[in-house]
Amino acid sequence: MTGDVWLPFPADEIPGLPDGLDYRFWNGEPDFPADPADCAYYVVPYMKGADVAVRPLPRMTSLRAVQTLSAGVDHVQSGLKYLRPGVELCNARGVHDASTAELALTLILASLRGIPDFVRGQERGEWRSGFRPALADKNVLIVGYGAIGSAIEDRLVPFEVARVARVARSARTTERGPVHPLTDLPELLPEADVVILVTPLTDETRGLVNADFLARLKDGALLVNVGRGPIVDTKALLAELESGRITAALDVTDPEPLPQEHPLWQAPGVLISPHVGGPTSAFLPRAKRLLAAQLTRFAAGQPLGNVVHTIG
User: CA of 277: how far to CAs of 146, 195, 310, in Å?
Assistant: 16, 17, 27
User: CA of 220: how far to CAs of 152, 169, 174, 248, in Å?
Assistant: 21, 27, 30, 10
User: CA of 270: how far to CAs of 138, 192, 248, in Å?
Assistant: 19, 18, 5
Q: Helix H segments across 69-138?
A: 97-113, 115-124
Decide if 275 is catalytic.
yes
Residue 85, number of CB atoms within 10 A of its CB: 7
Contact in structure between 217 and 193 (CB atoms under 8 Å): no
State how far the Cα of 201 lies from the Cα of 78, in Å rounded to an integer.
Answer: 13
From the candidates 75, 262, 275, 309, give the one annotated as an active-site residue.
Answer: 275
Q: DSSP code of 121?
A: H
Pairing of β 307-310 and β 88-90 = antiparallel
User: Sign of the CA dihedral 31, 36, 38, 43?
Assistant: positive
Ramachandran sector of residue 187 (left: φ over 0; alpha: ψ -120 to 50; beta: rest): alpha
User: CA of 271: how far to CAs of 241, 252, 276, in Å?
Assistant: 11, 11, 13
C-alpha 301: how far from chain center? 30
Judged on CB neighbours under 10 Å (0-12, 13-18, 19+), 97 is buried
Residue 60, number of CB atoms within 10 A of its CB: 25
Q: Indicate which residues carry an active-site annotation.
A: 275
